[in-house]
Amino acid sequence: MARLGALYPSAEAYIEQVKSIGLIRPWNEFWDRYFRYELQPVEGGGYSARTSRAAVMEDSIFGAGAFAFGDHAGVYGLWHALTMPVLLLRATREMFPGTGFIMSQRDRDRFTKVVPTATAVDVDANHYTIATDDTAAAAIAQFLGASG
């Protein structure tokens, strides 16, 4: 989250910084376009990420509420309201080793019990690379074909 809200002198500097973190391998032209699209010019010069750091922090705090206050707090309390078909793609690689997952295996299993209309697919990717993974794309195509 440190990159969100930070000021970068150029789009290239931002992209090089993201690249150097090592989250995305292999890096290719798609990721250059993806992260360039995320940038917005800042008054006075430079660039910053379009993604709101405050919104990401709010999501983190909301999610943490479930851990702090139990199985019916935070995001868990919303799952029961999902009555439509839902596709859950779960990245099985941590963003960084030792940092945990956006969705744990425990939460994935729980989600499919709480939301009987859900289909869960584990994808050998991380939070970013799941977007370009062939398994994820096939699962989405199948889900949309079945839902339409």
pLDDT 10s digits, 81-124? 999 999 999 999 998 788 888 889 999 999 999 999 999 999 99
Q: Which one is predicted more confidently, 68 or 139? A: 139
Write the pLDDT tens digit of every residue in 28-50: 999 999 999 999 999 999 999 88
Q: Is the pLDDT of residue 64 over 60?
A: no
Q: What amino acid occupies position 131?
A: A
pTM (2 d.p.): 0.76
b/e sequence 88-126, b meaning 16+ C-beta within 10 Å = bbbbebeeeeeeebebeeebbeebeeebeebebbebebb
Residue 26's pLDDT band (cuts 50, 70, 90): confident
Q: Is the pLDDT of residue 147 over 70?
A: no
